[in-house]
Amino acid sequence: MSDRRLHVTVPDIGWVDRLADLADVELTVWDFTMPQPDRHIDLAVRPYTVAATGLELLDPSRIGVIQSQALGYDGVAETLPAGITYCNAVGVHEESTAELAVALLLASQREIDRYARERGEWNRRFTASLIDRRIMLLGYGGIGVEVEKRLDGFGAELVRVASHRREDDRGTIHGDDELPALLPTVDAVVLAVPLSDRTTQLVDDTFLAALPDGAVVVNVSRGKVVDTDAVVRQGGRVRLAADVTDPEPLPADHPLWSTRGVLISPHVGGMSSAMQPRIDAVVRRQVALLLGGFGPEDVVLG
């Protein structure tokens, strides 16, 4: 089909097995913690969870494209050498992260975390629910849409908010300038915004104070979207169910761990059985594009 042959590096040997059927591709293992190989790499798949060498040390004359396994790329622009193309992982984590958002929201409302900790006790109490409640979906990108899909059947009213007001076939998506009016009317807020100047510490004392007693904030976007100290200051009046924190990892002695009404998972939104088939498919698509002489998809830098 093609006289090109691609050199693709993958971060561990499992990848070599899974992609062994790819024609016209030479697969070698490089996990970004070892020195950059001497040979030219057409496509380098970055490791997902392992702390990798800083991108600033890479020699751009020997790498064409870096494929990240993450959706976010905070800090990459500041360190990526000119000449390297950087692609994020679109379609890999959105569903899994949205699933975790709903899992955290439900667990918080129905107090599943309390039952887990009170193992051996039989304390029946009424709890909150999603039924008849108003849930704000703040951020309406890839994750937000997947959260909406999952919340559809729960008998709640969804209040969608994005950066600019617009209408779609489901009704109004509110602009974030309407937050002060909307926050007092909702029982839950699911944060699915990207991190930007506009969203850094968006959930601060003022935001939290506008929410009614017993409301819950679910954060699956980035830790810095929430002012951690402000949540601690709420002392449980407004609850938090978060997969991301600031700082991250959250130190063992941080007061957020023991704040009433706080449930934390350790940034595992994308870390589910849904990930591997989806990131494999992304890399297969990029290989097909490069072999065909096209540029890669989902370029965010370079």
Which residue ranges make up the site for a second copy (CB under 8 A)? 49, 95-96, 99-100, 102-104, 106-107, 109-110, 112-117, 119-133, 149-155, 249-250, 252-253, 257-258, 263-268, 271-275, 277
Provide the token pair at 213.
């007693």
Token pair, residue 271, equals: 């870390």
CB closer to a second copy, 98 vs 208: 98
CB of 115 to a second copy, least distance (A): 5
Q: By C-beta, is 269 or 302 nearer to a second copy?
A: 269
The first and second tokens of residue 111, run together, are: 């107090």
Q: How far is the CB of 254 from a second copy (least distance, A)?
A: 8
Comparing CB distances to a second copy, the nearer of 174 and 278 is 278
Q: Containing H/E element for 180?
A: helix 179-182
- What is the separation of C-alpha 153 from the centre of its chain, rounded to a whole number of angstroms? 23
**Least distance (Å) between residue 283 CB and a second copy:** 18
Please report how close the Cβ of residue 118 comes to a second copy at its closest, in angstroms: 9
> CA dihedral defined by 162, 167, 168, 170, rounded to 10 degrees?
90
Cβ closer to a second copy: 53 or 127? 127
Least Å distance between CB 103 and a second copy?
A: 4
Contact 156, 135 (CB under 8 A): yes
Query: In whole angstroms, what is the distance from residue 190 CA to residue 211 CA?
Result: 13
Q: Would you give the distance in Å from CA 74 to the centre of its chain?
A: 12
- Asked if 50 and 68 touch (Cβ cutoff 8 Å), the reply is no
Complex with a second copy: residue 73 or 154, whichever CB lies closer: 154
